[in-house]
Structure 1
Amino acid sequence: MSRLLTRYAIAVGSMPAANEAVNLTPKDPEVYRVRARLSSQLHQPASAKLDLERAVSLRPKDDYLWLELGNVRDDLDDTSGAQVALDQAVKWAPYYAHTRWQRANLKLRMGQYDEAFDEFRSAAASNPTFYPNLIDLAWGLSRGDVSATEQMVQIVDDSQRLQFARFLVRKGKGRESLDQLSLIKGPVSEDSSRDILRQLYTTKCFREAFELWNVGKNSSQLPPILIDGGFEGDITFDATGFGWLISSDQQKVSLSQDAAERDTGNRSLHVRFEGESSPGSQLMTQTLVVNREQRYRLSFAVKTNALVSGGLPVVAISDVDGKHVIAKSEHFPETTSGWQQMSFEFRSLPDSDAVVLSLQRNGCPSNPCPIFGSIWLDSFSIQEIKTDH
């Protein structure tokens, strides 16, 4: 009967029901625990403390009861009493993380920083799910100091270092994240590398993102960086990274490599338009790592056949968010007699280490605005325009 009353008391917040449960089974620690919770909800910590003290006297080996008592005593500014309770919690659950983590929090508030972090690290060692909390706590206390955070968490294995690298990249510390990755002794999984690469993109650490993506590829590390301007390598669909990226969700547009038509090398990119497609959408992109506030010239070769549309294709340079077109080429001719060289200049932005090169269409005066015909692209290159001072 008393257990029914305690469930009812918790469900509806009834103190009379909790009192009746205590009267029926005065030697059951659970009824005191329930009444203590209700007292805490009613902002009566002194009453909660008395009930929890009675509960631990009836069940002294229950670490969770001792934790609750420690928290209530802490709320009452009884720091020494809280420490006694949390010491008991650790005593009865010495190998579990939750007791040590709670006691560490109390020590931290008491200003016992070294002891607190010894305890935090011990808790994270017992239960690795606490490790991200440990990093976050150290980061906050160090006010975002990477070295101080590393010193406080005291990384002991590759798994912890990988978690720290992931944490740093989420905080926009791309260089420091790669420094941590370089210290990992064993192999880093492809999934982990892709996740960090995505985070580097998200936090706009493009130089570091390229460095990670470029591992084993031996591409140039010096901006401006344009990968595979002749479409000799494989084209990637729906991926994160550098080089040419193509969305697989293209309607009435097909993109493929063509060995028969080429300006240089062994291949070109053939784009065939077969009807309705959205003007302004990026059919093909490549993120280019550049120096800030620098003038560049982008050059490429194009060949067209029987293009028909009110919104002809262009090559454009945009900001990395795709919200602003910085510069673009002239629209492509409807038909060329052979390969035609095109180029245009642009100035990189003051607040970004990257721009996005894309193939897209000019806007149309009418909607819908279909397009038909074929284009071939090849021989993309980018050059910095030197300025005489």
Structure 2
Amino acid sequence: MSDLVRIDSKKNAARLVLVLAVTVAVLVSWVGARRQLGNLLNENTGLADPDASEIAEIAESMAPGDPLGMWLRASLSRNVMSSEKKRAATEMFENTVRLAPDDFRWWIELGRAYEQIEEFERAETALRHSVSMAPTYNYPRWQLGNFLLRRNRPDEAFAELKLATVNNYTYREQVFSLAWDYFDKDPAKVEELAFGTADDNATLAMFYAVRGRAADALRVWSRLSDDEKRANVSIAKTMSQGLHDRRFFNQSLAFARDTGVDTNSAPETITNGGFESGIGPATETYFGWRVSRGEPKVEISTDSAVKNSGSRSLRIGFRGFTKSQFYNVYQTVAVRQSRSYRLRFRVRTENLKSAGPPQIEIVNGNDGKLIVASQPFAQGTNDWAEYVLPFTAPENCEGVYIRTARSFCGENCPLVGTLWYDDFVIEPLG
């Protein structure tokens, strides 16, 4: 009998141990699950969330030791324009650092909090500590540099900001922009912040181009080797397009040549004046012939059967075209301000008839004003004739448009027949 009692006692003790073990496991699992849920809430709650404050409190109760939750509550308090709230937020940032002292991000947040309550020495100490913890990271130096700049210590500030640009295009452009504004658009000061690498020079060139400093953009771009230019060809294409759109034609042409877009183009020169190379899509050139082929009553193509010289000409056929304007064939030519030129070209016509026949116009590319126009082309059928147009580029002119137009004859004025172009040449005078 006593043996049976001992056996039952052992069984009861084993059951109790098992129950306790299961209970502890459930409690541990519950605590772990609560903490994981709290962490999840912290990670997925943004400062702009309308329920952020309530979520942060719930998350903290579930995961009281989560530094991210403490940061969230502190950041929400810091956004309230109250000195008491800001000091309370600073204490929470201090607690965040205590929870995760080896995370440089929290030291940055603590430094920013100290700055907000005007404890500048402590702010600088915290920010410098974040840099020492992550010396190869860009973000800590960016924050420290901006803090020093706000403290009116530009030499120290830009020394840190320069280091923030290493291998980082975003910070590089932002640092250049800060220096541009701080030093009143002084290129020398901006360039002191560059390390002279190909990436730096390419970024600087784009920086200047965006701000309309075309000469500076080209000057910096010229520092790159041919291989480096090829490696940054997409930047050069963007600059060429941007400078062309902003009417910096000579600099745009230089970039276009480097990118392979207009390798045969040159300043003060008609590109493909004899149409020997054919004409590609208008989107593939800035300084070659650009042709719009969207007009159903006009046919434009090169012609190998009719030409004045070489092997081709350009043929334009009109089939009852009635619009008052026709600018479907044109070329941009980079010129020098105030310099005189002579444009020569040849025209042939066949059954050309209209009260407003075609003609060539030379237009100031910088302001769109007409400089000179040729006589309207001879109507009927006529063999090749040479046209000569002397002109002087205005003082504000860095490029001209050589374009086909038509003399005005009002709306619904039909134009029929065919003309051919060949042998366009522009000659600088003096």
Asked if TM exceeds 0.5, the reply is: yes
**SS of residue matched to 1:333:** coil
Name the larger-Rg structure.
Answer: 2
* Pair 1:89 & 2:89 matched: no
Aligned match of 1:324: 369
Corresponding residue to 1:104 among 133, 140, 145: 145
Q: 1:321 and 1:276, CA in 2 relative to 1: closer, same or farther beyond 3 A?
A: farther
Aligned match of 1:50: 91
Q: Is the 8 A contact 2:364 2:400 kept in 1?
A: yes
Shift of 1:123: 2.2
Q: 1:191 and 1:23, CA in 2 relative to 1: closer, same or farther beyond 3 A?
A: closer
Shift of 1:22: 4.8
Q: Is the 8 A contact 2:361 2:374 kept in 1?
A: yes
Corresponding residue to 1:249 among 291, 294, 307: 294
1:136-285 matched pairs, under 5 angstroms: 136-155=177-196, 157-187=197-227, 188-189=229-230, 190-214=233-257, 221=267, 224-238=268-282, 239-276=284-321, 278-285=323-330
1:300-319 matched pairs, under 5 angstroms: 300-319=345-364
Whole-angstrom distance in 1 between the partners of 2:406 and 2:318: 11
Q: Is the 8 A contact 2:323 2:411 kept in 1?
A: no
Amino acid at match of 1:117: F
Whole-angstrom distance in 1 between the partners of 2:48 and 2:69: 11
Whole-angstrom distance in 1 between the partners of 2:387 and 2:48: 75
Q: Is the 8 A contact 2:342 2:388 kept in 1?
A: yes
Q: 1:208 and 1:9, CA in 2 relative to 1: closer, same or farther beyond 3 A?
A: closer
Aligned match of 1:127: 168
Whole-angstrom distance in 1 between the partners of 2:306 and 2:252: 33
Q: Is the 8 A contact 1:169 1:196 kept in 2?
A: yes
Whole-angstrom distance in 2 between the partners of 1:283 and 1:163: 36
Aligned length: 382
Q: Is the 8 A contact 2:293 2:300 kept in 1?
A: no
Amino acid at match of 2:294: D
Aligned match of 2:120: 79
Per-residue CA deviation, residues 306-364 of structure 1 (Å, 9 max, x unaligned), is 12445421111223267433332222222133122333444433212111110123344
Shift of 1:198: 1.5
Normalised by the length of structure 1, the TM-score is 0.84
**SS of residue matched to 1:271:** strand
Q: Is the 8 A contact 2:366 2:399 kept in 1?
A: no
Whole-angstrom distance in 2 between the partners of 1:126 and 1:267: 51
Q: Is the 8 A contact 2:128 2:144 kept in 1?
A: yes
The structure carrying a bigger helix percent of its residues is: 2
**SS of residue matched to 1:152:** coil
Whole-angstrom distance in 1 between the partners of 2:245 and 2:46: 49
Amino acid at match of 1:234: G
Q: Is the 8 A contact 2:352 2:381 kept in 1?
A: no
Q: 1:180 and 1:301, CA in 2 relative to 1: closer, same or farther beyond 3 A?
A: same
Q: Is the 8 A contact 1:297 1:384 kept in 2?
A: yes
Question: Which ranges of structure 1 fall in alignment gaps of 5 or more residues?
Answer: none
Q: 1:219 and 1:358, CA in 2 relative to 1: closer, same or farther beyond 3 A?
A: closer
Shift of 1:257: 2.4
Q: Is the 8 A contact 1:9 1:17 kept in 2?
A: no
Higher-RCO chain (CA-CA 8 Å, sequence separation at least 6) = 1
Percent of aligned pairs with the same amino acid: 29
Aligned CA RMSD, in angstroms, stands at 3.2
Q: Is the 8 A contact 1:8 1:17 kept in 2?
A: no
Normalised by the length of structure 2, the TM-score is 0.77
Question: Which ranges of structure 2 fall in alignment gaps of 5 or more residues?
Answer: 1-33
